[in-house]
Structure 1
Amino acid sequence: MQFIKSYLKKTWHAWLALFVLVIGVACFFSFNGAIYHDPLVRVSQVTTHKTGAESDQYGNHVKTYSQNITATFLNTKQAHETTHFTNTYDTSYALNEPVRKGQQLFLTHDGRGQWSIKNARHDTLWIPFAVFVLGSMLILTGRHGRLMLLTLFMNVGLFIFFIWLNIQIPHSNVFVLFIFFSILTTILTLGLLMGFRSKQTWVIISTVLATSLVTLSLSGFIFSMLHNQGVYYEHMEFVTENPETLFMAMTLVGVLGAVMDEATDMTATLFSLKRERPDISNSELIKAGRNMGGEIFGALNNVLFLIFIAEQLPMAVLFLRNGNNWSFTYISNLSIGMIQTLISAIGIVLTVPIGLLCFKLLTLKQGGHTQ
C-alpha cells in the first residue's frame, strides 16, 4: 500500500496531464468534421422498424430491419443542414450494421437527390484510446517505454518503406526485400532496446537471424521436394504478384516475431544465471537453456495457434453455415495460415539448439564473462 501511495505521489501530475490530453483529443476529433472532404453527418434521430425475416436452403435465419434516420451535416456547403435517409440491415450484419443516435457517418450521393451511408466514422473512439494506451505505457515504463514506442514507430516506418520499394521497383522480389527488412528491424530493434554494445544483444540477434534462415531454408526445401503439393496459393487474398514469394515473405515476418520472443526470454535467462552464479558450469547452463526453451515452446505454439484460429474463425463459420464441408473450408480459409503456423512452430523448436549454440560461441568460449 505504501508503494502505491508513493508511486501516485510521484506520477499524479503525469496521469492528470494524460487525462486532460485524452479529453482534449476526444473533443477535437468529435468536432473536427470540417477537415474531411466527404460529407459527414451526426445522427440526431433513429426510428427502427422490423421489416421481416429471411432464411436460406441451409437453415440460416435472419431478421431484417429498416431505419429512418435524421442527421445534421458537419461539413461541406450543407453544414448545419438536416437530411433524412434510410438504412437497412439484418441480424447477421453481413452487409450493413444498425445506426445509433449520436453516431457520425460518411454519406455518398447517388445523383438523384438521395443520400446513403458510405461508412461509419471510427477515429473519434480509437484515436483517444490509442493516446491513452501510449501515454500509460510512457508513464508506467519510463525510458524503456519510450524506447519501445520508438522501435514500434521505426518498424512501422520501415515496413511502409519496403512496401513502397516493392511498388516502385518493377519486377522486384518481395521475399528478397523482406529479408533485408527482417535483418534491419532485428538489429535496430534489439540494439535500441538492449544496447548495441551488449553481448547479450548480439547473442539474441545471431539466434534470431540464424534460426529464421534455417527455418525458411528448411521450409523452402520441403516445398521444393513436394512440388508445393498441399499449398493452395490460389486461396491467398488479393494477390497481385507471385504468390509463392509473397507467401514466403509473410511467413518470414511471422517466424521472426515468434523466434525473437523465445530467443529474448531464453538468452536473458542464461545471462542472468551467469551473472548470479559465475561459477556455474557450461553443462548446467546448457541444461537450463533447454529447460527454459521447452517451457516456452508449448505456450508460444499455443498462442500462435489461437491467434490464427481467432483470425480465421469468422470466414470458417461463414463457409460451414453455407453448405461447405470441412475439407473445402479448410482448403479455402485455413490451409495457408496453418502452414505458416507450423513453420513458425518449427522456428520455435530450432530456436533452442541454435540459441544455445550462439550463446556458447559468443560467451562461453571467451572465458565465460557476460555483459
Structure 2
Amino acid sequence: MKLTKKQTMLLLIAILGIIATFWAYQHPLGQGTLAQVKRVQSVSHQAETDQYQNKDTQFEQRLTLRILNGSHQGRTYQVLNDYDASQLVNQRYYHNQRVYVQFSHQGKATILTAKRDWVLILALTLTALILVAILAQKSWLILLSVLANCLLFFVTLRLDIWRNGTATILLYSGAAIVFATVTFIIYQGWRRKMAIMLLSTISALLLAFGLSYGIMQATKERGITYMAVAYATQSPRSLFLGQTLLGVLGAVMDESTDIVTSLSELWQHNPQLTRRQLWHSGLTIGREIMGPLINVLFLIFMAAALPMTILFLRDNNSISYTFEFTLSLGVLQSLISAIGIVLTVPLATLASFLLRPMTKEVQV
C-alpha cells in the first residue's frame, strides 16, 4: 500500500524520534559522566516533625552504580542517598535508572541528578507527531517559528546580560516586536493580513504596557515587591518588566490573530458587509475571546506561584505577607495582560478595515 505524504512524514518523525530517544537514554548529552543504578537497598527510615508540626519521613538507601562512560567506565561504586517522602529537595532512585555522577579528588562518587533528557526528546517527538497529524504542512511552519523565537530569545538574554539590566524597556520592547514580526512572517507569509495582525499586535502591546507603566510611575510603584522575583541575579525590576512585556505579547498575538482571521473570513463570505457591521462583528468576537483568555493567563501566573505560596503558608506566614512575596507580581502581570487583551479588541477590529477596500456604505 502506497503511503501518502502525510503518512510518510509521520512515519519518518516517529522513526527518528525513537532513535534519538533511545540514543539519548543510552548516552550522556554533553561531557557528563553517566551511571546506571544496578542495585537498590533500603537502609533505614525515620519519621520527622519540625517546629511547625510539619510531618515527613526520611529514608536512606544504598545504591550500587556502574559507570557507563569516561575514565571510570566499567567500575562500580556504592553511594548512600537520603531522601524525604515528599521529595521536595531530594529524590528517590530506582533499579536500572540512569543518573549523572561526579567524582571528588579522593575518587568518591556523588549523584548529581537523574538522567531526564531522553524524556524531553520523547515529548518533543510526540508533539511533532500531533502537530503533523493535525496541521500537516503547516506544522513545519510552527516548528520553524518556535526554533527561530528560541534563538531570538537566547540573543535577547545575552544582550540583557551584556547590558547588565540597563535599558530594559527598550530591549524587551524591541525583542517583543521582533518576536511578533518573525512569527507572523513565518506562519502567515508576507501579505496584507499578516501586516494587519502585526500592526494590531504591536499597537495593543505598546499601548497596554505604556498605559500600565504610566500608572506605575504615577503611583511611584508603591506596593510592588520586586524582591519577590525568583532567582534574580540583576535588577529584579528589570526582570519583572521583561517578563511582563513578553507575557502581554503572547496574549495580544493570540487574540489579534483570532479577530483578524475571523473578520477576514467573514468579509470574504459576505463582501457586502459595511464597516459598521464589521465593527460590531469584531467586538462580538472579542467579547467571546476576552473572558477565557484573561482567565487562562491568570491561572498560568497563579499556578507558577502556587508551590511557593503553599510553602509560605505552611511556615505560618500571614496571608498578606504570603500574597506580597508570592502572588502580588503575578496578579500585577495578569492585570497588565488583561489591559492588553481588552485594548486588542477595538484595535484589531479597526485594523481589519484595511483588509480590502470596503464596498459602498449601506445604512443599517
TM-score, L = length of structure 1: 0.91
Tell me if the contact between 1:69 and 1:87 (Cα under 8 Å) persists in the aligned partners. Answer: yes
Tell me the residue number matched to 1:122.
116
Write the mapping of 1:1-371 to structure 2, written as runs, cut at 5 A.
11-33=6-28, 36-169=30-163, 172-197=166-191, 199-360=192-353, 362-363=354-355, 366-368=357-359
Compute the displacement of 1:354 (Å): 1.6
> Aligned equivalents of 1:59 and 1:223: distance in 2?
41
Instruction: Indicate the larger mover: 43-52 or 128-137.
Output: 128-137
Tell me if the contact between 1:18 and 1:132 (Cα under 8 Å) persists in the aligned partners. Answer: no
Q: Which amino acid aligns with 2:18?
A: I
Compute the displacement of 1:106 (Å): 1.4
Tell me if the contact between 2:275 and 2:358 (Cα under 8 Å) persists in the aligned partners. Answer: no
Tell me if the contact between 2:100 and 2:115 (Cα under 8 Å) persists in the aligned partners. Answer: yes
> Aligned equivalents of 1:150 and 1:259: distance in 2?
21
Structure 1 alignment gaps of length 5 or more:
none
> Aligned equivalents of 1:326 and 1:368: distance in 2?
58
1:196 is paired with a residue whose SS is: coil
Tell me if the contact between 1:53 and 1:61 (Cα under 8 Å) persists in the aligned partners. Answer: yes
Identity among equivalent pairs (%): 31
Pair 206,12 (structure 1): closer, same or farther in 2 beyond 3 Å: closer
Pair 38,18 (structure 1): closer, same or farther in 2 beyond 3 Å: closer
Pair 21,192 (structure 1): closer, same or farther in 2 beyond 3 Å: closer
Tell me if the contact between 1:68 and 1:86 (Cα under 8 Å) persists in the aligned partners. Answer: yes
> Aligned equivalents of 1:243 and 1:10: distance in 2?
50
Compute the displacement of 1:119 (Å): 1.3
Compute the displacement of 1:12 (Å): 4.0
TM-score, L = length of structure 2: 0.92
Structure 2 alignment gaps of length 5 or more:
none
Compute the displacement of 1:258 (Å): 0.2
Tell me if the contact between 1:175 and 1:246 (Cα under 8 Å) persists in the aligned partners. Answer: no
Q: RMSD in angstroms over aligned alpha carbons?
A: 2.2
> Aligned equivalents of 1:136 and 1:294: distance in 2?
30
> Aligned equivalents of 1:240 and 1:69: distance in 2?
36
Pair 171,53 (structure 1): closer, same or farther in 2 beyond 3 Å: closer
Q: Which amino acid aligns with 2:304?
A: E
Q: Which amino acid aligns with 1:274?
A: W
Tell me if the contact between 1:51 and 1:65 (Cα under 8 Å) persists in the aligned partners. Answer: yes
